[in-house]
Homo-oligomer: A and B are copies of this chain.
Amino acid sequence: MNENLTLSEAFKQTTYPLSGHGPRSIQVLKEALEHIDGNLDSDMYGKGKVIEDFQEKMAGVLGKESAVFFPSGTMAQQIALRIWCDQKGLKRVAYHPLCHLEIHEEDGLKELHHIEPILLADSNRLITLDDVCNMNEDIACLLLELPQREIGGQLPEYSELEAISTYCREQGIKLHLDGARLFEILPYYQKSAAEICALFDSVYISFYKGIGGITGAVLAGDVDFTKESKVWKRRHGGDLISLYPYIISSDYYFEQRVDKMGQYYEDAKELATIVNECHGVNSKPAKPVSNMFHIHFAVPKEKLEPVLFSIYEATGLGIVGYLTKIDETSCYSELSIGDRYANIPTEAIKNAFQMLDEKMRAMI
């Protein structure tokens, strides 16, 4: 292995990367298009069979009246919150401190929509019913992200979720679901997507997380809501003349993978057990509730990086593709189990984590 590689490159070059479905290459699109008739018409600015059929299908899956395909979740979610704020005449919402809108969108919600967010809960735990009930300020909408990605993909108990939903309805607060990884949590909750979505007024789902598509999102709700969302989609510059490359691939990989979420979840729990047996290494949550978890290392990033390089080279297993510094003594990364995991020999995983365990013991 070339010594000048980044950890991301080294991870990609391993025989067995632990995370994901496969490389994000052009082949992902080529495969999705293979069985599509070239004579099929493009969608045209939100109209046409290819987009309308998929929107209808997803509305059905989510148990909502209507659904709209968006190029991105960033666009879909800002718009959802804007609609609920406009409806109530109040430009204030609440969400988790590590919400995607707060940390990954260059403050689009504030800069474009002038909506003020209330940050609920501490950044290292889930929003609870108490947090919602004890808010001092009135809000138009509460956004819940299931699972809460930035803290390892944690989930509240389903009863807590139901209680929050009931409370919001009583209080006239709209409840929006950031369901970027909605299908990934169905095996844990043992609920259908529609059952979970019934607790929410509006829902966003993504097609390039567990589904493994290229890009794309769906926003669903009642007809008045989705109709208004199309106006905002055009204002944002998202009402593209053709979205079919994303729609076709979203549909193709949805069909390929939506029923495999249970397997990914079982695999994630198995892997977390192996991880937690390693000295100075922990999964967060301790027991995963979806296909994802965070892996925490009780050593500084700079010390761990060369260790990972040597493990990847010796065992052919890629554990993580990047490390994020927590403080001077620890770091973490994210693991999302997909198609790859099932094809990795148990021996390769065992060897790599045995080596990691030994090296961690040597360091701490």
Binding site for B on A (CB under 8 A): 23-30, 33, 36-42, 44, 70-76, 78, 105-108, 111-113, 208, 214-215, 231-232, 234-246, 248
Contacts and interface: CB of A to CB of B under 8 A. Distances in A.
Contact of A33 (B26, B73, B76, B78): B26
A231 B244 CA distance: 26
A125 B42 CA distance: 34
B42 A238 contact: no
A44 B214 CA distance: 11
Contacts of A236: 74-75, 108, 112, 236-238
24 contacts: A23-B39, A24-B242, A25-B38, A25-B39, A25-B41, A26-B37, A26-B244, A26-B248, A27-B39, A29-B33, A70-B237, A71-B238, A72-B237, A72-B239, A73-B237, A74-B239, A105-B234, A106-B232, A108-B235, A108-B237, A208-B241, A215-B243, A236-B236, A245-B246
A108 B245 contact: no
Given A42-B28, A215-B242, A242-B24, A237 B37 contact: no
A226 to B, nearest CB: 15
A215 B232 CA distance: 19
A264 to B, nearest CB: 20
A18 to B, nearest CB: 19
A206 B239 CA distance: 15
A24 B38 contact: no
Given A237-B70, A238-B237, A239-B74, A24 B41 contact: yes
A44 B24 contact: yes
Contacts of A76: 237
Contacts of A38: 25-27, 30
Nearest to A39: B25
A215 B241 contact: yes
Contact of A71 (B28, B30, B36, B240): B240
Contact of A238 (B41, B238, B241): B238
Contacts of A33: 26, 29-30, 33
Contacts of A112: 112-113, 235-236
A41 B23 contact: yes
A146 to B, nearest CB: 21
A46 to B, nearest CB: 12
B30 A74 contact: no
B237 A74 contact: yes
